[in-house]
Amino acid sequence: MQKVILDTNIVVSGLIQRSYPHLILMSLFLERRFELCVSNVLMSEYHEVLNRPKFSKFPDFKLKVDSILLDIELHASLFYPKETINMIKDADDNMLLELALECSADFLVTGNTNDFTIAEFNKTRIVSPRDYWEFYKP
């Protein structure tokens, strides 16, 4: 089974609009077609970002957030990265590479093409949601 890391922007987009992030979240993760890999730091970011007041304008967003976070907490695999990496310009995003290294992720799915300019990190492919859905989905 593929090990996949979803950047926070993928989870946010997946709950707001019906696009590739939505398909990945709803059609793949919720159906357990890949193993979602998280760390405590990533979970904290999911909670912090998804509970920002600016998202309350979207219908039923809070209900969707509560549901997906519970599902992630119950079904994702929790890893504890041991190495510190300082490779990405936005320092907060380095936690995703640390997680990828720790869990030997197959894919890191992100919409952040400004900071993630590399295609691969230690055998983890860094792909857009569109590319993941069209070329790599299980």
CATH architecture of the domain covering 3-136: 3-Layer(aba) Sandwich (3.40)
- Continuous H helices in 17-136: 20-23, 40-50, 61-75, 94-103, 129-131
Terminal Cα-to-Cα distance of the chain (whole angstroms): 8
pLDDT tens-digit readout, 75-102: 999 999 999 999 888 888 999 999 999 9
pLDDT tens-digit readout, 3-53: 999 999 999 999 999 899 999 999 999 999 999 999 999 999 999 999 999
Categorize the per-residue pLDDT at 71 as very low, low, confident or very high, splitting at 50, 70 and 90: very high
Nearest to 126 by CA among 134, 113, 138: 113
User: pTM of the predicted model, to two decimals?
Assistant: 0.95
Structural domain boundaries in the chain: 3-136
